[in-house]
Amino acid sequence: MNASARAPKGRLRARWRVVDIVVAAVIAVVGGVVFWAWDLAYEAPSGLLEAAVPGLSGLVSALWLFIGVLGAVIIRKPGAALFTELVAAVLSMVLGAQYGVDTLVSGIAQGLGAEIVFALFLYRRFGLGVAVLAGAAAGALETIHELIVWYSDAAPGWQTIYSVSLIVAGGIAGVIGWALARGLAATGVLDRFAAGRTRPRSA
């Protein structure tokens, strides 16, 4: 396992610094813009997937699920996944997300799903595997929310395929969030964070 997969040993530092809040807010703002833009653009790919296999449209949700993982992998403090997803959802709603207030519910579900996984690892593991699990958990909680609110009357077969594809989308989102954090760390902009200080060094 590479160095960036674990937080430094010792007592968990749960208190947020000012720089943690600022960077988490920046991540959330970027996420909110991405959420809003994808809200405008997802229908075409969603329609193609749905035409290919009914229910497979859940895969398009990956771009709504990665911000919590990205925030947690960079900030590495309790609440980072939930904070970034929720603030991103708020901004998306303010910008005009078509789902209105339900956007906030989705943000809470997605952020909480990722948060639970990082908490289970005591906020000490931030490698690719944990990021994928966190993204998948975000997708799982979002699946529950959507099946209750939007798709309770859908056919069971469709619900099953949609649920699996949405959870897979969450796993993909975990890869996206982890890869973005690694890419940012490689530039040196995260040197004030453990995610930056433990980045692999080139030979």
3-state secondary structure the chain: CCHHHECCCCCCCCCCCHHHHHHHHHHHHHHHHHHHHHHHHCHHHHHHHHHHCCCHHHHHHHHHCHHHHHHHHHHCCCCHHHHHHHHHHHHHHHHCCCCCCHHHHHHHHHHHHHHHHHHHCCCCECCHHHHHHHHHHHHHHHHHHHHHHCCCCCCHHHHHHHHHHHHHHHHHHHHHHHHHHHHHHHHCCCCCCHHHHCCCCCC
Tell whether 162 is covered by a domain.
yes
Q: Quick one: pLDDT at residue 5?
A: 54
Q: Quick one: pLDDT at residue 96?
A: 86
Question: What is the number of domains present in the chain?
Answer: 1
Tell whether 61 is covered by a domain.
yes
Tell whether 10 is covered by a domain.
no
Q: Quick one: pLDDT at residue 6?
A: 56
Question: In this predicted model, which residue has the larger pLDDT, 202 or 66?
Answer: 66
Tell whether 6 is covered by a domain.
no
| Res. 9: pLDDT tops 60 | no
- Tens of pLDDT along 42-91? 999 999 999 999 999 999 999 999 999 999 999 999 999 999 999 999 99
Question: In this predicted model, which residue has the larger pLDDT, 79 or 203?
Answer: 79
Confidence class of residue 2 from pLDDT cuts 50, 70 and 90?
A: very low
Percent of the chain scoring above 70 in pLDDT: 91
Q: Quick one: pLDDT at residue 4?
A: 43
| Res. 172: pLDDT tops 50 | yes
Tell whether 5 is covered by a domain.
no
Report the CATH number that the domain containing residue 156 is assigned in CATH: 1.10.1760
Domain that holds residue 174: 15-197
| Res. 8: pLDDT tops 60 | no
Asked if 68 and 74 touch (Cβ cutoff 8 Å), the reply is: no
Tell whether 4 is covered by a domain.
no
Tell whether 2 is covered by a domain.
no
| Res. 23: pLDDT tops 90 | yes
Tell whether 202 is covered by a domain.
no
Mean pLDDT of 31-43: 94
Q: Output the average pLDDT for the chain.
A: 91
